Amino acid sequence: MREEGQLAGHRVFNADRFLDKFVGRESLIRQYVGSWNGRANIADVATLDVPRFKQYLVDGNGSGKDELLEGLYRTYDLCTERGHEDLLAACRDFDYDPDPNGDLPVECLSLKVRAEHEEAFNLAYDRNALWQAERFSIYRGPFPRDVRDLPEAAERFESCLEDTFREAKKSDRVLVRQYREGAYTNFVVYHEKRTRAELVFDQTHERRHVSPLILRPAQQDFISYNVETGQLEIETRFSTEELVLRDQFAECCLGDGTFFQDPATADLLDLSRIVDDDFDMPVDEG
């Protein structure tokens, strides 16, 4: 079992298998590369094909190459059955149809959405991350309180967490993303570090590995708040970090850092106890 709040090891990116899906659909690669406004340093993007793009990933350069690779790797992260579902759902939420004929492989769909509608892509990515959460602790505030001006509140929350965690966790970046689903306001906190993400190219005489140094999530935390009930759910790796997330969320998003601290009203349910060896739940017979 993976540790709480921590991403499972990143999949090795088989770039050959991924990019071969774009043979006959090279326009999607050109569109993605074009979104970097020339910073990828690829000549004649209008005629870019799959072999030349593979070669660029192996030995190309440019001020935007690392960011291009980060985006490509995030695109690959959603190339799963669940990721496909999240992409389609996010596109429906934005009334955006990237695949009217329904014939794009998930690799092509993911890259197209990333290039054409980054907001929909980020929503799909965040939902996919939240779906991976395994354990939650639950708090209930004294009464329901809405999160006013959610984007601004999320910016304050991100700034506070960055100040708190950047030094303590040696994170290169702390990123907070948010989205609403009905009564729930959800936050995904990414603790990112520069790491070597492995890309594999199967070639005729050798198997080439490329390990660019890019930002990848090293840990992620999840926060889900119900504005109708005042209930807060938090999933994170360490209990000490849980309290920081709880109180800074309350301060930045609800305007009261003590909102969940009153023992008489902050009803905590720790679901992580279920997996402990000594956990027991007696039930009445019959």
Could you write out the DSSP letters of every residue in 8-39? PPPPPEEHHHHHHTTTT-HHHHHHHHHTTTTT
Can you tell me the distance from the alpha carbon of 153 to that of 147, in angstroms, rounded to the nearest whole number? 8
Rg of the chain over all Cα atoms, to the nearest angstrom = 21
Compare 126 and 255 and report the one with higher pLDDT.
Answer: 255
User: What's CA 11's distance to the chain center, in Å?
Assistant: 15
Predicted pLDDT of residue 225: 95
Domains of the chain: which residue ranges?
Answer: 13-131, 137-275
Helix spans in 78-230 (H): 81-93, 106-116, 118-131, 150-169
The CA-atom distances, in angstroms, between 210 and each of 201, 202, 203 are: 8, 11, 13
Can you tell me the distance from the alpha carbon of 279 to that of 84, in angstroms, rounded to the nearest whole number? 37
Task: Determine the average pLDDT of the residues in 168-190.
Answer: 84
pLDDT score of 4 more than 50: no
pLDDT score of 166 more than 80: no
Predicted pLDDT of residue 173: 77
User: Please, what is the average pLDDT of the chain?
Assistant: 81
pLDDT in tens, 190-241: 887 666 666 666 654 455 555 555 556 667 889 999 999 999 999 887 777 8
| DSSP string over 127-151 | HHHHHT----EEEE-SS----SSHH
Q: Which residue has the tokens 């689903």?
A: 181
Task: Give kind and range of the element (H or E) at residue 3.
Answer: none
Predicted pLDDT of residue 194: 66
Single-letter amino acid code for the residue at 86: D
Identify whether the C-beta of residue 35 lies closer than 8 Å to the C-beta of residue 48: no
- Nearest CA-CA partner of 133 in 277, 2, 260, 247: 2
Can you tell me the distance from the alpha carbon of 150 to that of 253, in angstroms, rounded to the nearest whole number? 8
The upper half-sphere exposure of residue 183, i.e. CA atoms within 13 Å in the direction of its Cβ, equals: 9
Can you tell me the distance from the alpha carbon of 122 to that of 93, in angstroms, rounded to the nearest whole number? 12
pLDDT in tens, 37-54: 677 788 889 999 999 998
